[in-house]
Amino acid sequence: MGPPLKPLGIIKEMLNGLGLEITYAYDDLIFIENNAFLLQMGKTGEEVFLYFHTDSSSENRVDITNLLKECGRQYRFMIDRKGTYTVVQNTCRENLELRFFEGHL
């Protein structure tokens, strides 16, 4: 049996083991300290998608991806690097909007 449908607690334990902290979680999104990347829980508990912030260092993305995938296997996660994201100010409202760019690695 795999992880529960929305395994936030298990993901938090995994990240803490890597010395990382969750700064914010909303629905299926998990924001990591400094927002260099975020994780999105998939339709099954095993699926976790990885998105890097567009401003993050592209040189470090491969190493971070490999580290997360390796550690994720220990927790029975399949971490899949999906692309990048950015946060923009919504001009019509006073809130922020996330934009995802799949395939931008």
pLDDT in tens, the chain (105 residues): 566 668 999 999 999 999 999 999 999 999 998 889 999 999 988 999 999 999 999 899 999 999 999 999 999 999 999 999 999 887 777 788 899 998 876
Tell me the C-alpha distance between 27 and 79, whole Å. 18
50 lies in a domain? yes
Q: Domain range for residue 20? A: 8-102
Tell me the C-alpha distance between 86 and 101, whole Å. 8
Which pLDDT value is given to residue 2? 60
Closest CA to 14 of 79, 80, 74, 82: 74
Counting the structural domains of the chain, the total is 1
77 lies in a domain? yes
Exposure string over 58-88, b if 16+ CB within 10 A, otherwise e: eeebeebbeebbeebeebebebebbebbeee
3 lies in a domain? no
1 lies in a domain? no
